[in-house]
Structure 1
């Protein structure tokens, strides 16, 4: 049941082997990236519209509830039967359906959580509706929006293994092939690689969020200002005697 021997076997990491872990990892990342991109293109504008206008909120709420209860493997099986295809298209549709709810609901929730006083002040300054949306509401809602994107990525990384059930590549091959061969070490190795990939992607997205979201929104700028002010108020400056002695030594 230990996947360490499989992970430490150099043959499983060889680029020359089509079924090696690097090849499966790249395929898995491809499925994840394309699904999140398509889902984001669909859900983000709808979330902006609903959140900005306040109309159609039931759509965002019901989409979130449906996304949590929808069985991806069952949907994939239904799509394969209905479309008479075992290619990537049924997998893409199933994963996009999984991506849409968290991004849609987080975008809507982020915009609705913006301080109404800030929106009123922006309108009082003569900003148009689109300017209020993209220059006030969206920047202030970015932390919540990023939370939805990160949740969607984690869900897709874990669920993209279903691609192996229709004969495609990806890290799911380690699970499916391991089950077929009674190779539990391979299955454990596949689960470990998927988990590590999810953690790494979440950390990378967190790093991107740190530099994209304004420090004034996250509170980093305020904490720095408070730290600078406290240092200035304490009068903690280098003593002239120490500076002089260092310079003459």
Structure 2
């Protein structure tokens, strides 16, 4: 289902340095041209960045409300699978297919994808700094545009976090379950969705085939581990994830 109707900014409680904060403290000065890029290096890893992705979606719509009422478009964000396909994340609205892509594990190719997609807000898993030599001027190109870099953990909790995002509404977990346990929709369900005011991706003829293709390497054991990871994030019955900011220059040495 389109997050345009399913989620709201007030579903999330942000805490920065132990104090109440907001989406503006995570994504400072988000504007209508910002684009989120999420790097994925292992199976279903982006589930650990669920609330960050959803918060970015809300910033996308809040920065230009006409996107909710007239244009009704999907958020400009990209899931970039590195070194293989790590499961379909289309239910997070990485759709149409051009917004969920695969690149080789060569850091230069990863940076090239970030530049090609015009990423301004980067989410990447916790990875060590490395001595990476990128192609000439590619780092400058990225740094000219990047505003925010945030490290996440596939488990949902990073070491020494800078901030947490806690959901206060169970609806934020709906698409998590659809990613862990994708299900074919019945013709009746699709017909019902086609009657909604906002077109939804589930009615696209290539949506489910695409998700099945991306999930080819996702085993039942991986799904069970994903479920355990989510359960471990519960605080008073709601999911709380933690994150750490990265220096923009350093983030390009972690690819």
Same fold (TM over 0.5): no
Report the TM-score, using the length of structure 1 for normalisation.
0.26
Computing the radius of gyration over CA atoms, which structure comes out larger, 1 or 2? 1
> Could you say which structure has the greater relative contact order, defined with CA pairs below 8 angstroms and 6 or more residues apart?
2
Please state which structure has a larger fraction of its residues in strand: 2
Please state which structure has a larger fraction of its residues in helix: 1
